[in-house]
Structure formats: C-alpha cells, structure tokens
C-alpha cells in the first residue's frame, strides 16, 4: 500500500525539495501541498493523507495551530513537524498539539527516517542540544 503524504510549508522551494526526497521512496506519494496552516487543514479534509509533514513557521495559521486543528479532525493522523528551530519547549507544545515527530530543516535527510518511524506508529523526536 502506498502512503499518501501531504506537505505543508510556505516555501515553494522547500515543498519541491521535500516532494523530490519523499517520492524517491517507492511506497510513498505526495498527495498534495499547502502553503500555510489553514490550507493544510483544508487539504487534510479534502485529500485524507496518511501522514503530514508540517512546517512550524507559516502564515495565516502556524504549524502548532494547524496541528491542533488537524488532530481534532483526524486524531490518528501522524504529523511530522519540520522547522528551522526545534527547542524542548516547541517539542513539548508540538506533542500536546498531536505532533508525533520533529525534524530540523537543516537535517532534511532525517525527514525520511521520521516518516518511516511515524508510519510504523512510532514517535520521532530528536533531542535538541
């Protein structure tokens, strides 16, 4: 079965880079993209993805706000936060919002490991220094 992944990031370049990275995996396809948190919530309703890679800093509705809304809609949907800055406080807030993993944008190759872990119903948080 192919896992359908939604990418939500305000940068078209980041979305394209993530799409290219994720679609190299034969069991995954990117079912849609969103440029802000509100679009991410709407896309979850419309596309029913199996997983979402969600940027933290987005316009209209940030990643935490979007994660809370998405978790209310589909509590079982795995969410992987993708951010330039991951602090212990952000991780704690993200977990309480329903996020099951977090990856730094500077470590983009970890996105694949994070997606794999979340699809196995595991959490994927890397402790910030």
Neighbour tally for 60: CB within 10 Å = 14
Average pLDDT over residues 100-105: 91
Q: Count Cβ neighbours within 10 Å for each residue of 77-102 and write b for 16 or more, e otherwise.
A: bbbbbbbeebeeebbebbbebbbbbb
Binning pLDDT at 50, 70 and 90, where does residue 128 land?
Answer: low
Binning pLDDT at 50, 70 and 90, where does residue 127 land?
Answer: low
Q: Classify strands 28-34 and 3-8 as parallel, antiparallel or unpaired.
A: parallel
Question: What pLDDT is stored for residue 109 in this prediction?
Answer: 83
Query: Higher model confidence: residue 94 or residue 128?
Result: 94
Question: What pLDDT is stored for residue 55 in this prediction?
Answer: 93
Model confidence over 57-70: pLDDT tens digits? 888 899 899 999 99
Backbone angles phi, psi at 99, to 5 degrees: -75, 135
Q: pTM, whole model, 2 decimals?
A: 0.93
* Domains of the chain (ranges, CATH numbers): 3-125 (3.40.50.2300)
Question: What pLDDT is stored for residue 129 in this prediction?
Answer: 47
Mean pLDDT for the chain? 91
Where is average pLDDT lowest: 18-22, 29-33, 105-109, 116-120?
105-109
């Amino acid at each position: 079965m192919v896992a359908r992944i939604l990418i939500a990031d305000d940068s078209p370049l980041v979305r394209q880079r993530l799409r290219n990275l994720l679609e190299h995996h034969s069991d995954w396809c990117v079912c849609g993209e969103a440029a802000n948190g509100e679009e991410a919530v709407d896309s979850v309703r419309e596309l029913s993805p199996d997983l979402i890679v969600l940027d933290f800093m987005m316009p209209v509705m940030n990643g935490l706000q979007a994660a809370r809304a998405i978790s209310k809609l589909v509590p079982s949907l795995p969410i992987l936060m993708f951010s330039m800055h991951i602090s212990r406080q952000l991780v704690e807030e993200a977990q309480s919002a329903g996020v099951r993993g977090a990856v730094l944008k500077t470590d983009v190759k970890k996105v694949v490991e994070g997606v794999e872990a979340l699809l196995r119903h595991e959490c994927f948080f890397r402790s910030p220094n």
